[in-house]
Structure 1
Amino acid sequence: MNAMMRRAVIGTAAVSMALSMAACGKAGSDNKSSDAKGGDTKSIGLLLPENASSTRYESFDKPFIEAKVKELCSDCNVKYSNAEGSAAKQKQQFDTLIAQGVKVIILDAFDAASTQSWVKEAADKGVKVIAYDRLATGPVSAYVSFDNEKVGELQGQALVDALGAKAADANIVMINGDDADPNAGKFKAGAHKILDGKVKKVVYEQSGEWKPTVAGQKIGAAITQLGKDGFQAVYSANDGMAAAIITQLKSAGIKVPVGGQDAGLDAIQRLISGDQTYTIYKAYKPLADSAAELAVDLLQSKDIKSVASSSIDSDTDKNIPAKLLDPKVVTVTNIKDTVIADGLYKVADICTGDYAAACKTAGLQ
């Protein structure tokens, strides 16, 4: 073979190899669902805050969001992590999603005040963040939650209703949520709006940090400080803390109204048994469905105003598109019309062996 022929063969092979490599490169990009800039166009990040003081995140929020995303976008997937009560761990999970090229993240911040720099960095890289349940700081693209001050108002009113004619002379112990959680501040403000002026006094008020163990310690301190007859009701910001509070009260021989929030199955059973007075039901499916709709719309560059039709301000940003849902009070009298009617629980879930007789009395069997 002469030199000219060798050059022709080599040139043809080089062109063929280049075309093959280009074709392979394109196929690889499609398989990874990535756009021209390397972003993941089929994955939605989901970061939830904890799984100790509330069972709702693993039992309801996660599966509902995953199901709705799949319904709206059959080839989309959800990349899920739980912070397990650690802001540092959640930051690592957030950074991992960014590094993987995820373009939309649903974030229920464990420490909403700490997220400003993360969300800003994400926005600078074209990543959209949906603040879920808690209003994260930083330039989030949307927010979906409940009217959290109204939650507190409902909690306060339910406690007043439970006290009845005794409310005006009642001293109240308040065990609030974590001070770092903006929702906790709204629950507290809403509760005070109702309680202040309708009860005698809030005689002891501390943060339970959303931790049952801490809440149990705080109610123990309240009993020591005030005495067994020094308070007539306990406000607990959520059901997980309420469970620990009720345990401590029982061990001290104290029976007073105690309320919570989240409508966990164990809380509903405590309503049946008479140990807990009320809980707040925030319908998780509408909340999760709205977050999934926003995430898919943002992933597909659609207008989100049909979902997030109102707006809200955070400590760092103004006019954030928002969807706010309405919560409900649940007592033993309306379990059938709320959590059972919505399909959250079946009678069989609630009325297990220890609760069968109480369920019959409550009209659930």
Structure 2
Amino acid sequence: MTTRRSPLRRPTATLGVAAAGAALALFATACGSLTTDDSAGETQTHSIEEGFHVGLLLPELQTARYEAFDKPYFEEALENLCPNCELSYANADQDVDEQQTQAQAMLTAGVDVLVLGAVDSEAAAGTVNEARGQGVPVVAYDRLAQGGVDMYVSFDNFRVGQVQAEALVGALEEEGTAGDGQIVMINGSPTDPNAGDFKAGAHEIFEGQVEIGQEFDTPDWSPDEANSQMEGAITSLGLDEIVGVYSANDGMAAGIISALRSAGVSVEDLPPVTGQDAELHGIQRIVSGEQYMTVYKAIRPEAEIAAAMAVSLATGDDLESGEHTVTEVEDADGVMVDSILLDPVAVTVDDIADTVVSDGFYTIEQICTDDYADFDFCKEAL
């Protein structure tokens, strides 16, 4: 399989990842056919034997997962399913216009199927419509783009918010502070439809259990903005009133914890802070006691499913879900999209070994560097 990047964006380095032990065994296909009239916007049928051209567009570099895991996992899965396929890749670095330019370049270059992790789900409708007008099917990856995509794979994002909130409420109950103060909610980017689902799921759990003192939406999932928001919450509410912080992801949790530490809070006195994505630094903060939890989303199966969906759409073959349930998700335009939603997992210090380590996401050596070797988790693991 040949891999190339969009010529319109300077390549970025792909980080190394631990090898996974499980082989790709997700889907079986059965032969089928589609009408082939590309000029009329009808999807062409391609064969695995001859190969075809797949475009992968990912949304941002702020979160480490896309370059470190999603891209290489997708590339590996496509290689396994279609060795003669060509892959073009680009990351928009959170720039809506850049992603539209990248998509246009791929469509001009003749990609046969597009896998799209949208920067902005509403703005992505133009790209989706243009692709489908050229007979190029679209898989929405991780974020449900508007415009009528053909298939969608992600996690149960409402459940992600519930998992985060359940963990935070549990931590407050364990500390006996659930009714003693207020929490701060720092949500994700308003242009990311997943962020709204995370927030809605969290609110369902928080209702009647905790008091939300301040709540923010965070443009571009920016840790710096989250840091400023937390500083404002500290000024407004007072440190003594803040018993916990809902952070929608690990990157923002870093900014939040930095604000608390700058305000004079010791590691031992930090309130529980949530996260998401199981970033390495997030896991290390959990080891050190700075961050309470993260949400682990097994990215490998998500990327493998996306590759299988791309192959199914390009070849016209049936997609069989195996162990995964195919459901329908309604997009913002009321279009029902065939979807597979994976389950998120809460990770505290007690769960690290049985999740990110056992799955090969990180090794003990990656987590327990010199700065973390003296913490209990690393003492027991090394």
Shorter-chain TM-score bucket reads 0.7 to 0.9
Say if 2:57 is the partner of 1:42.
no
Say if 2:289 is the partner of 1:274.
yes
CA distance in 1: counterparts of 2:123 and 2:260, whole angstroms: 35
Say if 2:203 is the partner of 1:192.
yes
Equivalent of residue 147 in structure 1, options 148, 156, 161 = 156
- 1:302-338 residue CA offsets vs partner (Å, 9 max, x unmatched): 1235377211110114221100000000000010000
Q: Note the C-alpha offset of 1:77.
A: 2.2
Letter aligned with residue 49 of structure 1: P
Which structure would you say has the larger Rg?
A: 1
Q: Note the C-alpha offset of 1:298.
A: 1.2
Preserved CA contact (<8 Å) 2:125 2:146? yes
Q: Note the C-alpha offset of 1:117.
A: 2.3
CA distance in 2: counterparts of 1:360 and 1:145, whole angstroms: 31
CA distance in 2: counterparts of 1:140 and 1:221, whole angstroms: 40
Q: Note the C-alpha offset of 1:363.
A: 2.8
TM-score by length of 2: 0.83
Letter aligned with residue 282 of structure 2: A
Q: Superposed, which structure 2 residues align to 1:12-161 within 5 Å?
A: 42-52=52-62, 54-161=63-170
Letter aligned with residue 287 of structure 1: E
Q: Residue 365 of structure 2 aligns with which residue?
A: 348
CA distance in 1: counterparts of 2:368 and 2:376, whole angstroms: 6
Say if 2:242 is the partner of 1:236.
no
Preserved CA contact (<8 Å) 1:171 1:232? yes
Q: Residue 236 of structure 2 aligns with which residue?
A: 225
Q: Residue 272 of structure 2 aligns with which residue?
A: 257
SS at match of 1:323: strand
- 1:165-206 residue CA offsets vs partner (Å, 9 max, x unmatched): 32133311011001111100000000011111111x101001
Letter aligned with residue 336 of structure 1: A
Equivalent of residue 339 in structure 2, options 319, 322, 338 = 322
Preserved CA contact (<8 Å) 2:138 2:150? yes
Say if 2:175 is the partner of 1:175.
no
Say if 2:300 is the partner of 1:290.
no
- 1:114-133 residue CA offsets vs partner (Å, 9 max, x unmatched): 11222112112111110000
Preserved CA contact (<8 Å) 1:106 1:132? yes
* Structure with greater contact order relative to length (CA < 8 Å, sep ≥ 6): 2
Letter aligned with residue 340 of structure 1: V
CA distance in 1: counterparts of 2:273 and 2:85, whole angstroms: 43
Q: Note the C-alpha offset of 1:240.
A: 0.4
Letter aligned with residue 247 of structure 2: S
TM-score by length of 1: 0.87
Letter aligned with residue 309 of structure 1: V
CA distance in 1: counterparts of 2:130 and 2:352, whole angstroms: 44
Greater per-residue helix proportion: 1
SS at match of 2:239: coil
SS at match of 1:221: helix
Letter aligned with residue 69 of structure 2: F
Q: Note the C-alpha offset of 1:359.
A: 4.6
- 1:219-262 residue CA offsets vs partner (Å, 9 max, x unmatched): 11111111121211111110000001111111112321111100
Preserved CA contact (<8 Å) 2:38 2:135? no
CA distance in 1: counterparts of 2:364 and 2:247, whole angstroms: 26
CA distance in 2: counterparts of 1:359 and 1:344, whole angstroms: 21
Q: Residue 24 of structure 1 aligns with which residue?
A: none
SS at match of 1:168: coil
Q: Residue 299 of structure 1 aligns with which residue?
A: 314
Letter aligned with residue 90 of structure 2: S
Q: Note the C-alpha offset of 1:100.
A: 0.8
Preserved CA contact (<8 Å) 1:309 1:323? yes
CA distance in 1: counterparts of 2:75 and 2:360, whole angstroms: 18
Change (3 A) 1:148 1:317: same
* Identical counterparts, % of pairs: 46
* Structure 1, gaps ≥5 residues long: 1-34
SS at match of 2:232: helix
CA distance in 1: counterparts of 2:75 and 2:193, whole angstroms: 26
Preserved CA contact (<8 Å) 2:54 2:112? yes
Letter aligned with residue 295 of structure 1: A
Letter aligned with residue 282 of structure 1: K
* Structure 2, gaps ≥5 residues long: 1-35
CA distance in 1: counterparts of 2:301 and 2:53, whole angstroms: 21
Preserved CA contact (<8 Å) 1:340 1:347? yes
